[in-house]
A and B are shown apart, each in its own frame.
Chain A
């Protein structure tokens, strides 16, 4: 069998078992009693309304901030490249780190001195922090290839602002829409942020699913909520695909951005750096807070990490770290072959496969975990379900990175190898794999960083002895006392460092598409 066919079969089999069957079971349960009960309940209807509002406002905010930032960052000025790299940081940071950061910045004991918890503003800030960098990267990636077009616009009489308005903005509309669409999807189905910061008023559907399931054991209700959520995500994804088709333009060859010289360059640096300093202040607050007790500097939170296990339900920091790394590694064993198979199949042009890459976007981790419990009750005691959930969430990111590198390979290399007598398998082993090795490293790093911070599925699937760092943070936050609070901050710093360290250490930060 040709390797591309085998790859496609592998991906299809995995998606059928790990996504379609469990999710189909849940959605099937959602019809009937559950659905009418959910639609009749004003509180649950409110969850749908708020989730939609949160998603829509978040994407609007991201676009509003991204446009002026892109206007400045399309130029070259001192420190610009560092700022572009910096804007990527939150993308690999676990949501829980962002959530505890917001708590340390604008929570009840926050550094800002203004308690925003229980208001939507803290959620919007968190969402912006999380999604703005991703959108900027998408847009700047497209604009990187439009240098010649801007020059053409300039010679035709368009000034800097006019050429931005008439050429660069229309060209980046596709990327901007992609960023907005992804921001909607991530915010609409977000879990960690609203669970910790939103209270009952600003709980999303995803949080409502979790609460219905684990606090009230109302399975029918949870299934109905998942049904509603999935329906919205399917509609949004279809709109996203349509918009991508309409707005996409082929980018030209990459060209260096024009230089903004002298005072204007430094002013741009000041503006952009100042903005990011404010936007990312919660992350700084998190680090500061982990060293700060009621009487000033304190190592109590960090010292608490060394404490032995307090009870069966309160995992020690050591165990949580061990579990986090162990599960990520385990998941990578599934993610890597799956992600590679998917990327390879798409690259070699297996029809319809590229659309399947969107499917995992349609499921939220909590819904997925609920589906697993329903579909495979016999496997609850094994780590297989957890590893599968991780792989399903991480493989599209792995595949995207590898696929970008594959598309950069000259097509005639494989053709040359074929004329020299190598079959498709031999070409894969002797030519393609060696050339893709750097990208595979970067892709593995990204996948590992994402699974290290996974929260929703872990919370539903993990037994107490499997608690990861994210679960441990959540557990500490739920307990009273300043030391528990400080320990949650310290654990979050540790988690953030771990995710960022894996991402930059393994992948050296490059190559990620």
Chain B
């Protein structure tokens, strides 16, 4: 549905090189730290930026030379970019009017979307009267209204606080599934990417490092950097792995690889972090720092010496 073919975007001191495809109806997350070039990829797809080289295809058609208004994509901006002079209703109707829809049809579509997003009560308000979460929903409704072939979302939840993010994340997931739209969204938050996307593409310094289904990427990270970026805490250097009896290169211990209570290794509980539903435990064994997470009842007190075991099946080897 959407493809970047050997796309290159150059800035002073930075280069993004991307070759990636998104299937019809798929939700893809472009995941990477800030400055990795993931937003540029999105802007190139929307036509807001021209690539220095390469082509962009939408539905099999080369759109590289088309301006944004002729690409028929939906774009949700990080700061929402709601038109401050128009009401919520008019913001959502904007793209439909540009496409020359009939008035009755516009009214129906806008009404449906406002209802679906829980915005009916705000229809006649101006954006500045809305809360952050409401603005985000208006931006999403506005981008979805013209039934775009592809929906592009630039850090759609980035400007919200944590509690609101969790709620809107579920909503976003539901909407993306319900509208059966092809969606690409950019985020630096792996949870956001895992929960929402069917496929995750990890970008680092302008290069695609790895892509695949969330579980696949999480359980088989391409290298140590990716493992750490995806939230793995037990990323062992070769000499650390060797000290613990694991041969070969760097290793990543998946959650569940570490078992407390019995086993060949002796360790000491250094820090016990009470998170509420779970407890995090930093251990030291043979000079290597290890992390364990589990129910509070199974976590020993700080300073306790304990036995532990590592399941070699769950200690995956990664590239350097």
Contacts and interface: CB of A to CB of B under 8 A. Distances in A.
Contacts of B74: 155
A170 B146 CA distance: 23
Contact of B79 (A148, A158, A162, A250): A148
A155 B48 contact: yes
A336 B10 CA distance: 49
A154 interface: yes
B69 A157 contact: yes
A250 B127 CA distance: 11
A153 B143 CA distance: 10
A24 interface: no
Q: Which of A156, A162, A171, A173 has the most CB of B within 10 A?
A: A156
Nearest to A170: B85
A495 B82 CA distance: 48
Contact of A154 (B69, B83, B84, B99): B69
B302 interface: no
Contacts of A157: 69-70, 72, 95, 98-99, 146
A156 B142 contact: yes
A154 B68 contact: yes
B130 interface: no
A249 interface: yes
Nearest to A157: B98
Interface in A168-195: 170-171, 173
Interface in A400-457: none
Interface in B64-78: 67-75, 77
A156 B146 contact: yes
Interface in B264-319: none
A171 B68 contact: no
A313 B81 CA distance: 63
A149 B47 contact: no
Contacts of B142: 152, 156
B156 to A, nearest CB: 14
A154 B67 contact: yes
A350 B37 CA distance: 47
B112 interface: no
A159 interface: yes
Contacts of B71: 155
Interface string B94-131: 11001100000000000000000000000000001000
A158 B98 contact: yes
A151 B85 contact: no
Contacts of B73: 155
Nearest to B68: A154
A153 B94 contact: yes
B79 A155 contact: no
Interface centre among B75, B77, B94 (most CB of A within 10 A): B94
A167 interface: yes
Given A151-B77, A166-B94, A252-B79, A158 B84 contact: no
Nearest to A163: B69
A162 B100 CA distance: 12
Interface string B37-55: 0000000001110000000
Contact of B48 (A149, A151, A160, A250): A151
Interface string B127-159: 010000000000000110010000010000000
Given A151-B48, A153-B94, A250-B128, A158 B81 contact: no
Contacts of A170: 85-86
A158 B77 contact: no
Interface residues of B, number: 29
Given A156-B146, A250-B84, A148 B68 contact: no
Contacts of A253: 79
Contacts of A249: 84-85
A156 B70 CA distance: 9
A156 B98 contact: yes
Nearest to A261: B50
Interface string A193-213: 000000000000000000000
B98 A162 contact: yes
Contacts of B152: 155
Nearest to A169: B85
A160 B74 CA distance: 17
A171 B81 CA distance: 13
A154 B48 CA distance: 8
A166 B95 CA distance: 11
Nearest to B148: A155
B94 A148 contact: no
Given A157-B146, A158-B69, A152 B81 contact: yes
A347 B131 CA distance: 27
Nearest to B97: A166
A174 B98 CA distance: 24
Nearest to A150: B81
B91 to A, nearest CB: 9
B144 to A, nearest CB: 11
Nearest to B46: A155
Interface string B240-256: 00000000000000000
A440 to B, nearest CB: 32
A171 B74 CA distance: 22
Contacts of B81: 148-149, 151-152, 252
A156 B48 contact: no
A148 B82 CA distance: 9
B69 A159 contact: yes
A252 B143 CA distance: 20
A149 B83 contact: yes
Interface string A293-334: 000000000000000000000000000000000000000000
Nearest to B72: A157
B77 A148 contact: yes
B47 A154 contact: yes
A152 B85 CA distance: 14
A502 to B, nearest CB: 38
Contacts of A152: 75, 77, 81-83, 142
A3 to B, nearest CB: 32
A250 B84 CA distance: 7
Nearest to B90: A166
A157 B97 CA distance: 9
A73 B128 CA distance: 28
Nearest to A154: B68
A112 to B, nearest CB: 42
Q: Which has the most chain B C-beta neighbours within 10 Å: A154, A155, A171, A173? A: A155
Nearest to A173: B85
A311 B75 CA distance: 75
Nearest to B78: A148
Nearest to A147: B81
Contacts of A171: 83-85
B204 to A, nearest CB: 26
7 contacts: A148-B79, A151-B48, A154-B47, A155-B48, A155-B75, A155-B152, A156-B98
Interface of B: 46-48, 67-75, 77, 79, 81-86, 94-95, 98-99, 128, 142-143, 146, 152
Given A153-B94, A153-B98, A154-B67, 11 more contacts: A148-B79, A148-B81, A152-B81, A152-B82, A153-B83, A155-B68, A155-B152, A157-B69, A157-B95, A159-B70, A253-B79
Interface of A: 148-149, 151-160, 162-163, 166-167, 170-171, 173, 249-250, 252-253
The 9 residue pairs across chains A and B that have the minimum distance between CB atoms: A156-B95, A157-B98, A154-B68, A155-B75, A152-B81, A148-B81, A249-B84, A170-B85, A158-B98
